[in-house]
Chains A and B, each alone.
Chain A
Amino acid sequence: MDRALSWLLGGRRPLASHLLLAPASLWLIFLLVIPAGGLILLSFATNGPYGAIVWEFGLHNYARAFDPKYLPVLIRTIIFAGATTITCLVLGYPVAYYLSFRAGRWRNALLVGLMVPFWSSCLVAYYSWMIVLGKEGLLNTALIRFGFLSEPIGFLYTPFSILLGLVYFYLPFTVLPLYASLDKVPRSVVEAAYDLGANRWKAFWKVTLPLSMPGVVAGCILTFIPCLGDFLTVEILGGPRYYLLGNLISNQFMMAQDWPFGSALTCLLLAGLVGGLWLYQRWEKA
């Protein structure tokens, strides 16, 4: 079998290796390259009568995107994405640490437990949160029953409910890379730190944490980036004053019927992300 594979992939028969790569390449071409190309093309087109697309090309959509009225939306989005990432990291690191160092034979069960919410649609999860957070919801009822509150608080449609939804949904994105990299920390190195006189805290601070940094970075990137484009959370759990970039874009396609402008906004977001990741990689190599 191994011989067969190396024969297939070997330099003598490049055709075979192309064939083996074909499914993945086709997948990428049809589901990434072509749609992205279409999006870029559309971003230069013009919005016609009743939102018909007119193929007259120009930079007008990009010029519009730099209107200062969109700046608060961008800042708000970065704040929400940043707050989500930090909260996920603070909550996720201990979880990942426990899973990797302490969970023992429960580890796999706990990992599955972490993944379970992921198998259901986040729509279902968000509607459940609405039931919990509502004025007549579980949380308010409990707080009133135990005398912490006299009147229900409107938790829903506030920055709190948005952040809660985002953290709830993106937490596994932070925990899994953290777990993977903590799991790779050689236990012998940590023990060596103890042998050299470090206490628990110092060993963690000087050895475990630095060695888990790749996981921290990966977890943060995997949380921050999808957060920047999230629109569903605000749509369901957010109010009108917490409009994010994702809502701005989805609104161009749905309500404003201005697909070229929506495409330009999407392209700018993508360019910002790719540029940011590129800079990060350069910085990391340096």
Chain B
Amino acid sequence: MADPVSRRSFLKAAVLAPLLPSLLAACRRADDKKVVNFFNWSNYIGKDTLPGFTKRTGVEVRYDLFADEDEMFAKLRAGAKGYDLVVIGDYLIPRFRALNLSEPVPTAALKNFNNISSRFRRPVYDPEEGSVPYMWGTTGIAYNKKKLKKAPTSWWDLWDPKYKDRVSMLDNVRDSIGVALLMLGIPPTTRDPEDFRKVREHLIKQKPLVKQYSSSSYLNSLVSGEIDLAMTWSGDLFQTARENPDLDYVIPKEGTHLWVDCLTLLRGSRHREDTLRLIDYLLEPEVAAANANSVRYASPNEKALKFVDPVLLNDPRVYPKGAMMKNLRLNAVLDPEQSELWNQTWADVKVA
């Protein structure tokens, strides 16, 4: 039987072994290269935005995507290391602080932070301004103009039995419970178990009509005609409508919440300096406007608005006007107890 290790391969290994440390060193050097690790929603940045930053500064941006906020949160909570910057919803900001996942962005030191519209300064979810508003949008109803005789106008249309098996709902605690509370006229800051019993029943009543609870794949279902009505995030639908022009978006007459997605610095970031440079870059009016034009969400950047595509800027579905704007409210800030009630209620709806 042949030797399992031939003399030649042993010699080869002996020659290569001393190279190993230098190889490792090379890896380490590669890590010292100027990079920012950016974790963001899929389809949530302009095509030229990051290349523009790299071209100007030489800093490479390693861009990683998530399609589900809960998944992102679970991943970071479980100790995923190496990300410097993440885009999270307003309601997650107190949670990230409490769990020590993020550290405040020194917004005062950013050259362009004052471009942010006064409406989004010192927000309730982050009065100390340790996060930077990235985009804002609304939660509303997407529908197929061709398939529906009458355009939906109210959240109650999603509860209409005639749309059985043609409806999808966002699989997200903030939106599902938030909208149910809004429909029932219950203040979002409630901590009364009776209120949550009502919410649970309200959502369970709708369940036989619902084809999907989904936060991303329902967009494909809308395009392919699998469903005709969906609770959706504004910009996601506008992006999808490029594929199927029959799709439209409406903010229900009961109103909805206006949410803000924010750039957040993660604790333990090893590329702090360059991350802050990237944030400052994203706040530049032209950059922010091009980015918003591409993802079709609204920009919280006041100075950017004059560079935003007038078609989008004048579209009340993207930038709601007057009375409609008054009908929008920011997400309520929940303490741990309330947040647990919301989570449990949604978990119970899904089990039912």
| Shortest beta-carbon distance from A75 to chain B in Å | 13
* Bound-state Cα–Cα, A109 to B155, Å: 56
Q: Are A49 and B98 in contact, with the CB atoms below 8 A?
A: yes
Chain A: which residue is nearest B210 at the CB level? A240
Chain B: which residue is nearest A152 at the CB level? B225
Chain B: which residue is nearest A131 at the CB level? B224
Q: Which residues of chain A (209-266) have a CB below 8 Å from chain B?
A: 236, 239-241, 243, 247-248, 251-258
Q: Are A255 and B171 in contact, with the CB atoms below 8 A?
A: yes
Q: Are B210 and A239 in contact, with the CB atoms below 8 A?
A: yes
Q: Which residues of B contact A156 (CB under 8 A)?
A: 221, 226
Interface bits B155-173 vs A (CB < 8 Å: 1, else 0):
0000000000100010101
Count chain B CB atoms within 10 A of each CB in A1, A51, A70, A252 and give the residue with the most: A51
* Bound-state Cα–Cα, A251 to B213, Å: 13
Q: Are A157 and B212 in contact, with the CB atoms below 8 A?
A: yes
Q: Are A69 and B351 in contact, with the CB atoms below 8 A?
A: yes
Asked if A191 CB lies within 8 Å of chain B CBs, one says no
Q: Are B74 and A253 in contact, with the CB atoms below 8 A?
A: yes
* Bound-state Cα–Cα, A194 to B224, Å: 57
Contact status of A257 and B74, CB under 8 A, knowing A157-B211, A240-B212, A251-B347: yes
Q: Are B350 and A240 in contact, with the CB atoms below 8 A?
A: yes
Asked if A159 CB lies within 8 Å of chain B CBs, one says no
* Bound-state Cα–Cα, A120 to B144, Å: 34
Chain A: which residue is nearest B209 at the CB level? A240
| Shortest beta-carbon distance from A37 to chain B in Å | 17
Asked if B344 CB lies within 8 Å of chain A CBs, one says yes
Q: Which residues of B contact A49 (CB under 8 A)?
A: 98, 336-337, 340
Asked if B271 CB lies within 8 Å of chain A CBs, one says no
Q: Are B339 and A255 in contact, with the CB atoms below 8 A?
A: no
| Shortest beta-carbon distance from B249 to chain A in Å | 22
Asked if B38 CB lies within 8 Å of chain A CBs, one says no
Asked if B73 CB lies within 8 Å of chain A CBs, one says yes
* Bound-state Cα–Cα, A69 to B173, Å: 20
Q: Which residues of A contact B346 (CB under 8 A)?
A: 255-256
Number of interface residues, chain A, beta carbon within 8 A: 33
Q: Which residues of A contact B52 (CB under 8 A)?
A: none
Interface bits A149-176 vs B (CB < 8 Å: 1, else 0):
0000010110000000000000000000
* Bound-state Cα–Cα, A67 to B212, Å: 26
Q: Which residues of chain B (190-220) have a CB below 8 Å from chain A?
A: 207-208, 210-213, 217, 220
Q: Are A50 and B95 in contact, with the CB atoms below 8 A?
A: yes
Q: Are A255 and B173 in contact, with the CB atoms below 8 A?
A: yes
* Bound-state Cα–Cα, A136 to B244, Å: 14
Q: Are A52 and B343 in contact, with the CB atoms below 8 A?
A: no
Q: Which residues of chain B (310-352) have a CB below 8 Å from chain A?
A: 336-337, 339-340, 343-344, 346-348, 350-352
Asked if A134 CB lies within 8 Å of chain B CBs, one says yes
Chain B: which residue is nearest A133 at the CB level? B226
Q: Are A1 and B217 in contact, with the CB atoms below 8 A?
A: no
Q: Which residues of A contact B94 (CB under 8 A)?
A: 50
| Shortest beta-carbon distance from B45 to chain A in Å | 24
Which 5 A/B pairs are nearest by Cβ-Cβ distance?
A49-B336, A256-B347, A255-B70, A254-B70, A50-B95
- Given A130-B220, A251-B347, 20 extra CB contacts under 8 A: A50-B99, A50-B336, A50-B339, A51-B77, A73-B351, A134-B226, A135-B225, A154-B211, A154-B226, A157-B212, A240-B169, A240-B213, A243-B350, A247-B350, A248-B351, A254-B74, A256-B346, A257-B74, A257-B343, A258-B343
